[in-house]
Amino acid sequence: MKANEPVTLRQELGVASAVMLGLGSIVGTGVFVSIGIAAGVAGASVVLAIPLAALVATCNALSSAQLAASHPVSGGTYEYGYHFLRPWLGFSAGWMFLCAKCASAATAALGFSGYLLHGLGADASALVPVAVATTLILTVIVLRGIRQANWTNILIVSVTWLALGLFILFGVSHLVRTGDEHLMPFWPSETGWPGFLEASALMFVAFTGYGRIATLSEEVRDPRHTIPRAIIVTLVLSALLYVAVGIVAVGAAGADALAEATLAEAAPLEIVAERFGVPGIPSAVAVGAMTAMLGVLLNLILGLSRVLLAMGRRGDMPAATAKLNASATTPYVAVIVIGILVTTLAAIGNVKTTWSFSAFTVLTYYAITNLAALALPPGERLFSRVYAWAGLGSCLFLAFWVERSVWLTGLLVLGIGLLWHLVSGRLRSHAAVSLDPD
């Protein structure tokens, strides 16, 4: 290896491992929290908002898959923007990803803490300390390398899917006995379309965990074949799961009761499961929720650290964030920085606001993803450009259906990031000129 070449991460992940990482990122805060939030703004039609969000995510997934397959480096759309578009678009993608997902990670930590304390009957005043401690522990796990983190993730995903499988099984039995009146009106009324579109934007966030496979593409074996397969399998499995959970949750409790349980107790599926009248199922769902939150937090720390690594390599962040450990398995400085940021946000996080903010920033991120996919040379394109155009239009459309205060804040954050990019770029240019002996 040449002295000036950056040290790259070892390729340790196959299709199965990549799918498990994607599922660990998707099946978490979204299924245990966002369905209830979306039900509050769309009513029973949230059941339709789920597949619509999954359809939009599919278009984005195909763009992400072919980009990651043709350009397999850590950083996801941050790198794709630089490589196929313009530096400021690449930076914008990385910046929005960091902002959105740090907040989402903090929400997952708080969600885990809430379910744990609720299950133990403990005082809610311990919510923040438990969330902070959880973040620190998982940061240490990620510091030990992706192989150790992957085994932890497989265990977490397995427990979560078992719990949700029990929820669906006994929930369907409950619906057969009691009827499906809570699922009506199924189609959004004329006045309900804004709420339906907002719910679709909120549910879109729940499916974006597949992007973690792309951000880890430098560590995937045979990326051109592994990444598309892993992303598509991950998305199909998670979409089927979300639709099933949504139908059971809304059908059993009703949209209003589900939304109220989400805001008041932060444990909506556990409360819905209590209606089934089957001992042990609410507890099993609570355990599944806790493992899911752990899985999301673990995978977000992994993905965020790789984006920060990529930004450090390019000089958009301090060079220290690009340092790897001796075995080239972990960008340890980036992991520590992300751990500190998530821990800080966990101390002040608000679940509902954070989720809406994530919706806007993530939709912006994937709009840039689709732009990059449109710029792929024909020889590197795996799918029709139609999917990228559909993803681009859908992301830009849905982004502005969240609350106005949220998308205005998102635009402000984007502006601050671009200002930093401009100033830091000029400082680097000035330093380079000063060091030039000529």
The domain that contains 289 carries what CATH number? 1.20.1740.10
312 within some domain:
yes
Are 117 and 123 in contact by the 8 Å Cβ rule? The answer is yes
pLDDT bucket at 435, cuts 50 / 70 / 90: low
Instruction: Among 156-165, 166-175, 318-327, 425-434, name the most confident range.
Output: 166-175
- Residues in the chain, how many? 438
58 within some domain:
yes
pLDDT, residue 431, reads: 62
pLDDT bucket at 1, cuts 50 / 70 / 90: very low
Is pLDDT of 236 > 80?
yes
149 within some domain:
yes
**What pLDDT digit, counting tens, does each position of 123-160 carry?**
777 888 998 999 999 898 888 765 555 676 677 778 88
270 within some domain:
yes
Mean pLDDT of 233-247: 88
pTM tops 0.75, yes or no? yes
118 within some domain:
yes
* Sign of the C-alpha dihedral computed for residues 401, 403, 408 and 412 taken in this order: negative
Of 329 and 235, more confident: 235
82 within some domain:
yes
Is pLDDT of 215 > 80?
no
> How high is the mean pLDDT of the chain?
82
Question: Can you give the residue range of the structural domain that contains 409?
Answer: 15-421
274 within some domain:
yes
Mean pLDDT of 190-217: 79
Around 32, how many Cα atoms within 13 Å sit in the side-chain half-sphere? 34
Tell me how far CA of residue 136 lies from CA of 29, 221, 258, 306, 330, in angstroms.
19, 29, 32, 18, 16
Residues 6+ apart with CB under 8 A from 3: none
Name the percent of the chain lying above pLDDT 70. Answer: 86
Is pLDDT of 374 > 90?
yes
Cis peptide before 185 (omega within 30 of 0): yes
pLDDT, residue 350, reads: 67
**What pLDDT digit, counting tens, does each position of 325-371 carry?**
777 678 889 999 999 999 988 887 666 777 888 899 999 999 999 99
4 within some domain:
no
Of 123 and 169, more confident: 169
Mean pLDDT of 419-433: 74
Number of domains composing the chain: 1
